[in-house]
Structure 1
Amino acid sequence: MTTPFLRIDGLSRHFDPVQALTDITLEFHLGEVLALVGENGAGKSTMMRLLEGVFPPTRGSIHIDGRPVSFTQPREAHAAGIRVIHQEPEIVPDLTVAENIFAGDLPRKGRHFLDWSRLYADTEARLTSFGMAKELRPRQLCAGLGPAQRQMIEIMRAVQAGGKLIAFDEPTSSLTDEETGRLFTLIRRLRREGVAVIYISHRLAEITELADRVAVLRDGRLVDDLSADGITEAQITRLMVGRPLSDMFPARAPATGDVILDVAGMSTDHVSDVTLQLRAGEVLGIGGLIGAGRSELAKGIFGFHRRTAGAVRVGGKDLPAGDTAAAIAAGIGFAPEDRKEEALLLMQTILENAVLCVPKKVSTGGFFSRAKAL
């Protein structure tokens, strides 16, 4: 059997007190699509961060072409040919398509000048090769591009930089069916060209369609590594959750705690006539397709969107409409879908972000007090 491009032996990683990965041994071959599956928290993202050099393993080793390697930063993993396409593409919006594709490897004239003519010509050739010449232009700014276009730019950057192993982390989560089909065509092309592909997805139909092998993680451990030939979604699911499909949703006793949240006929500019209750100790799941109003419902309860009808009560007390401060004071927390845009101040410290909602508790005379925050 040929030597794998990449092999991990006994890879483990813990974040006190959590053991995120335990004794993982796995091979990744050129010209093969390996699907990495598991429930949320199974360790998939941790494994990708280890391979990309974001942090080192607690123990275990990584080998490339049979030689041991050790990454202390992503730049070293990139130089070794390892690239990860994240759910949120790492694109600089104020740079052009050409500058993003060739970031870190811009062609030069001599030591001090960029070769702009060559950059645009090479980008045009790359766009044509990937079937994107009609959608994107080399000099076009990336601000305002859609998710599929940003993702394609990151893939082109990985390929032009010599990526030998490219991992896709939930790549279709924000794509249309047409865009997903185009991505699958590209992944098959990469496989034919001898690239090792890691494909991470919760959409099991995609796994059975694309993968050559399936590696299943559960609770930070590798429970199986098997051929995808003839595998079914039911088999994958059973390996992921550790129980038969008939027990997928075991019966639970109904919640008997007090009603904590009572939403009665609530309407906003985005949702209409919503009624629900949430009891102490209960987890309420809200499902729906993109655009169905899931996030808008949560924002309406939190007071982010103006309430036009109905009532929201917390602990039996009415919550004023459109008052996020009152919602926070009543004990409601809100983690929005787009954390970077709606929840975090990216230029501030972790400490400052952590106390953002309690300014009075961490200030003296109206000024932020680091001592109080700590």
Structure 2
Amino acid sequence: MTLTPSAAETAATTSTPPLRLKGIHKNFGGVVAIKTFDLEVRAGEIVALVGDNGAGKSTLVKIISGLYQPSDGEIWLNGEQVHFRDASDARAKGVEVVYQDLALVEDQPVYMNMFLGRELTKGPLRTLDRKGMAKQTQELVDTLDVRIPSAKATLSDLSGGQRQGIAICRATHWASSLVLMDEPTAALGVAETAKVEEVILKLKARGAAVLIVSHNMDQVFRIADRVSVLRRGTQVATRNLADTSHNEVVAMITGLAS
């Protein structure tokens, strides 16, 4: 993703959306987790997915990322309908996920975490290209302004916010279509949350399509362009943040909206 901010703004209104969900339904036996869900996420846009515990948010993320298959409905990426068999299939199509628990390796350097499972090699013996991985990692963290001592720093020496920033950088590096985030700042304090939000906004400026699950309404209104509300597996509404309020969104989440 190398779009400039101005190009990202143009793409958001003129290009085929990186993600389109049509009539997504998911049941586990006799339990309906998601009834019917429709959504588009455009390039250079952040869409927040909100709802109470058990509303179906994480289930939807797992469907988009290939961990679950929908019982019905369609997933379209960049104008092409896709059928993911598993998470690796989704990653191969350019879908990356940032989870709260990060899925990083504490005792490895930052650059090895960036290329975890996708390590660069060189020469006939296919030895690890540590220099190349470190160089690419440093370039990306510099671009997204993730402040770490070095791409060669050990992950365990970094703060929670820095680690989350690395997880977001990794997703950005490999995502060609979409970045999904499931409560990426839930375990962080106020200052570190603000730093991570800056990185997320930089993704938007580069033209990324971002779908973020968040329970933090203040965060939703700070960084998202639109919000989609789930309640007990039902999509209540999707709103432009500029056209709604905290109170209205909370009322939709709780079922108090008229």
Residue 168 (str. 1) matches residue 181 (str. 2): yes
Question: RMSD value over aligned CA atoms?
Answer: 1.8
| Residue of structure 1 in register with 2:143 after alignment | 129
Q: How far did 1:86 drift?
A: 0.7
- Looking at structure 1, the residues matched to 123 and 89 of structure 2 have their Cα atoms a distance apart, in angstroms, of 26
Unpaired runs of at least 5, structure 2: 1-13
Q: 1:118 aligns with which of 132, 157, 173?
A: 132
- Give the conservation status (yes or no) of the 8 Å contact 1:78–1:163: no
Q: 1:204 aligns with which of 217, 221, 230?
A: 217
Q: How far did 1:204 drift?
A: 0.8
- Looking at structure 2, the residues matched to 2 and 121 of structure 1 have their Cα atoms a distance apart, in angstroms, of 32
- Looking at structure 2, the residues matched to 67 and 244 of structure 1 have their Cα atoms a distance apart, in angstroms, of 36
- Looking at structure 1, the residues matched to 150 and 205 of structure 2 have their Cα atoms a distance apart, in angstroms, of 27
Q: How far did 1:224 drift?
A: 0.5
- Paired-residue identity, %: 32
Residue 226 (str. 1) matches residue 233 (str. 2): no
Q: How far did 1:97 drift?
A: 1.0
Q: How many residues align?
A: 244
TM-score by length of 2: 0.88
Q: Deviations over 1:274-329 (max 9, x none)?
A: xxxxxxxxxxxxxxxxxxxxxxxxxxxxxxxxxxxxxxxxxxxxxxxxxxxxxxxx
- Looking at structure 2, the residues matched to 59 and 176 of structure 1 have their Cα atoms a distance apart, in angstroms, of 39
- Looking at structure 2, the residues matched to 12 and 100 of structure 1 have their Cα atoms a distance apart, in angstroms, of 34
| Residue of structure 1 in register with 2:43 after alignment | 30
More helix by share: 2
- Give the conservation status (yes or no) of the 8 Å contact 1:216–1:224: yes
Q: How far did 1:163 drift?
A: 4.2
Q: How far did 1:176 drift?
A: 2.2
Q: Deviations over 1:67-121 (max 9, x none)?
A: 1101111111112121111111110123221100122332221352222222222
| Residue of structure 2 in register with 1:3 after alignment | 16
Unpaired runs of at least 5, structure 1: 246-374
TM-score by length of 1: 0.62
| Residue of structure 2 in register with 1:148 after alignment | 161
Aligned partner letter, 1:152: G
Report which of the two structures shows the higher radius of gyration computed on alpha carbons.
1
- Looking at structure 2, the residues matched to 89 and 237 of structure 1 have their Cα atoms a distance apart, in angstroms, of 28
Aligned partner letter, 2:31: V
| Structure 1 residue matching 2:101: 3-state secondary structure | coil
Q: 1:189 aligns with which of 187, 202, 217?
A: 202
- Give the conservation status (yes or no) of the 8 Å contact 1:103–1:157: no
4+ runs deviating over 4 angstroms: none
- Looking at structure 2, the residues matched to 213 and 79 of structure 1 have their Cα atoms a distance apart, in angstroms, of 27
Q: Deviations over 1:4-42 (max 9, x none)?
A: 211111111111232101121111111111011111111
| Residue of structure 2 in register with 1:96 after alignment | 109
- Give the conservation status (yes or no) of the 8 Å contact 1:84–1:166: yes
| Structure 1 residue matching 2:155: 3-state secondary structure | coil
Aligned partner letter, 2:141: L
1:235-246 equivalence runs, <5 A:
235-243=248-256
- Looking at structure 2, the residues matched to 56 and 28 of structure 1 have their Cα atoms a distance apart, in angstroms, of 19
